Structures are given as structure tokens and as C-alpha cells.
Structure 1
Amino acid sequence: MADAHERILLLGGGNMGAALLGGWLETGLEPSRVVVVDPKVGDALRPLIDRYGVRHETNVPDEAFDIALLAVKPQMMGEALPALRAALEPESLVVSIAAGTSVAAIEAILGERPVVRAMPNTPALIGRGITGAFANARVEVAGRAVADGLLSASGPVEWVESEALIDAVTGVSGSGPAYVFYLAECLAKAGEAAGLPADLAMRLARHTVAGAGELMIRSEDTPEKLRRNVTSPNGTTQAALDVLMAADGLALLMRRAVGAARDRAEALSKE
């Protein structure tokens, strides 16, 4: 977490920005050290303002900040960032969680400075996310530690040494929750097709996906080992896996899906 004297500007108080802010406050950050800038107060931000008295502004105030965390949508960056430049010192740390927004794009507006580009995911909303992060050459060891502390409020942080790898992180964990939600959808529909009532099939699918995910987190075994543990030779699970693990099965589809998300993230960073 940031040093006790450092002031933080949170640009964007939507779901992800509010999730991070909530984590900071719950772990002891003084509310007076944060200013949230957002044109409106949404449902995610309101409880934090009411509970902690966090300061909210509709525009960037005429003050100096040591750290700015950018949590606005990528398409809003061009409009939102110029006003931020006057509030930052040359060595102020900028941490961006805007998908597809490159370090170069941020520096083009805010000037050359320490920048961390990060990709969290939506389980951050319940403190169970994971974030991939890249630091440019101007971020020193202390700055990386500060960014790590801020981002880890919603779950573990994994650092990559090449900015291009953030696009791959986006394809795996950034977009990944949607793949898992779709898996639950498909599993429930398959159960329904097998004769189960729709509501029962959905409950079974939701709890199965959630429970298996929790088991992976708690177990020291690899996902492959866990899969083998529940697969009896010539049993029901093996019959299903023979379909999923066919040459044109899930592995191929997942490689295509992650590749498509990575490629789109790369394209967005160049637009």
C-alpha cells in the first residue's frame, strides 16, 4: 500500500474502481488520502462514501497527487486524462486498469512518467480477483511495491516483464470469467437437455463450477491432477472427457478464444 503521506486520486468510481477502493479502505487506508473523480456517484461507490466519508469530485481538483489510479473505460481515456496532468508531479505514479490502453497512449497525454498498466478481472468485486501488471522503465522498486499493494486489495498480482504479455493476460484472466460463466450456462443447458428441470440444472451447474474453482484454489494439486482424481477408467466422467478432450474439443476452442481476446486487446491498444 502507499506510504502514509501519499495522496491518491482514483479516476473512475465504477464497479472496478469502487472494488479496489473498498479493498484499500478495509485494509486500513485513511479515507482522507483518497479523492474519487467521477461525473456521478454510482451504486458501487455510494456505500463507500456513506460509510467512510470518501471525498467525491465530478472534476479533477486543483491539487497535487502522488498516485493516480485510472479506472475509467478505455473509450473515455482521451477525454478524462488531459485534466489529470496538472494534478501530477513528474514522478507521480500512474496505475491504469483500462483494457487495451497502452503505456505509450497514457504517456502521450500525461507525459513521460512512471506508469503501471494492469489487467484485473471481475472477481475483484468480491475480493477474489487476480491482476496481471506491467511496469515501465521509470517505475522503481518502491513504485512497483506501491502499485502491488494497491492492486492486491482485490486479489493476487502477477507481474510480467513485457507489455505485450498484458494482452495475453487479458485473454486468459481478464476475459476469463466470461468463459467460466458461459461454461456454467452450457452445462445447465446440457442438463436441461438431459431431462433436468431448468432451475435445478442451473443450480447444479453454478455450484459445480463455483465449488470446483474453490477446490483448485485450496488444493496444492494441479488442475490436471484434480481431473485425474475424479476420473475413473471407463466411467461416466471418462466418457464425457473423451468428448471434451477430442482433437477438435475444448482445448482447441480455448486456444482460439484466448487468441481472439489477445488479438483484440492488441488491436485496441493501437486504435
Structure 2
Amino acid sequence: MDLDFGFARTLYGVSLMVMAFITLLGYAVYFAAIWRSKTLQSRHLWLTSLACGDIIMMVHLVIESLASLAVGYYPRHNLECQVGALIGLFSGYVTIGSITWIAIDRYYRLCKPEKVGENYCFYVIIVWGLSFLAASGPALGFGTYESAQENTVKCLIDLDNNDVNTRIYILLVAAVWFVYPIIKMIRYNRKLVQETKKPQPMAVAVPLTFLLCYLPFAVYASLKITVGLPKLNPVLVTSVYMLPKVISVVNPYLYMRSDPELLAACRHAVGLATVEKKAE
């Protein structure tokens, strides 16, 4: 993705830095909360997987933002661009897979406790392995990574290359890493609400957040690689590319809020529990 040096590029860099700071702060509190609790560590294996994926993405974003803010600096060489694309895709796929499994795990814990933890370590390895394989698709000949240009600030999949392999890759990724996860999330969250017969705010919040963050890019990429799109405003395109990263900003706070015991541990980690107790 290219952005000329100027206001839009500066705003992009600053936005990435702010997003990275908020995300890393949230996960710092999360890891501080579970550090001394074996129970929370085992209960939130998938949230820890999600945290690791999001942290990889945010560290990568810090590098991107610094490159974007460095006026006059040639941001990338092609190898750097390809490695950046691999990291960006990999962390995104890990995030999606982990979010999907968190929805399944929540259903199991409330409705099918006998399935909780069953082969979870194996599935975590599968999610991370498939994520890396999917992110490596362009390196294996399925599609291509973007090449570095003078004003390149971000590299991902080259959507201007619409050969057969690229189309297959984009459509396959859209099916496996967008359509399938959202179907699984909706299915297990609906079953959770039906079987518990209680309000479940997360059953709405998680699928809705996922749709809002990933749907614009999924539609944009699918249309661009199949029927083609006219030249769009760079700020609009940048927003479409940034939306999937917003979910990483929301994740730590959304999931910490969803578990009362974890939330209490997080409050204790930052000293809020002590303050509240004294106030009482």
C-alpha cells in the first residue's frame, strides 16, 4: 500500500503507534493478571494464543509506523516488504483462528464441560501451523506479496496481480479465514444463548466486531482480484487495510471484561482492587 509523504501518511503512522500502545498495554495487564494463577492460565489458553498473535502484529505495526513517520526514508526493500507481508498475514490468521476457538471454548465451558481442554494444545499447534502455511502462500507461488515502491508504507498481498493463482489464493483465504470463522462464531454463540437461556453480551459483541473489522477488507480484496475496482481514494483504502487491526486493539479489553475472575485479577494487577476495597 502506497501513501505519499504528507498529512495522510503522518496520520497513518501516528494511528498505528496509538493502536499498538493501547493493545500492548491491555495484554501487559492480562499477562500480569494470569502470571501467578495456574487456573487462569489453563482456562485462557486460547486467549493467550490470541494475545501472542496480536502482540506479533502490534510489534510489526510499530516498525511500520516508524517507517511511515520517517519522511524522506525509503521505507522498504523488496525482501523487507515480503517479510513484513508474511508477518502481517500470519499474525492476522492466528488472531482469527484464536477468536473462533474462544467462541467454541466459551460454549463448551457453559454447556459441554466434558469437552473443555480436550486436545486444545494440539489445536493451538494446528492453528499456528495453518496460519503460517496460509501466510506463506505467495512465497509458494499462490499469489504474490506486494513489492516495495518509493512511497510504500505497508506490504501485504499484491491485489493488482490478478492471475489465476492469486485469485484462487484470495478466494480460498476469504472462505477459510473469514466465511468459515464467522459461521462457527455465530453457530456456537447462538447455541450458547439457546442452551443457557441467559443474556450473553459476548455472543453478539464478538461476531459483530469481527464483521465490522474484517468484512470491508474481505469485500475489497475479493472484488479487486475478480471484477476489478476503479482507483479509490488512498485514505479510504488505508482505512480498509487498518480495520482488521482494530480488532487487535479491542481484543484484550473485550475478553478481560467477559470473565469476572479474570477481570478481578486484572484489576488487582493494576491496583484497582485495593483501591475499591479501601473505598468500601
Structure 2 length as normaliser, TM-score?
0.25
- Of structures 1 and 2, the larger Rg is shown by 1
Greater fraction of residues in strand: 1
Higher RCO, 1 or 2 (CA under 8 Å, sep at least 6)?
A: 2
Greater fraction of residues in helix: 2
Structure 1 length as normaliser, TM-score?
0.26
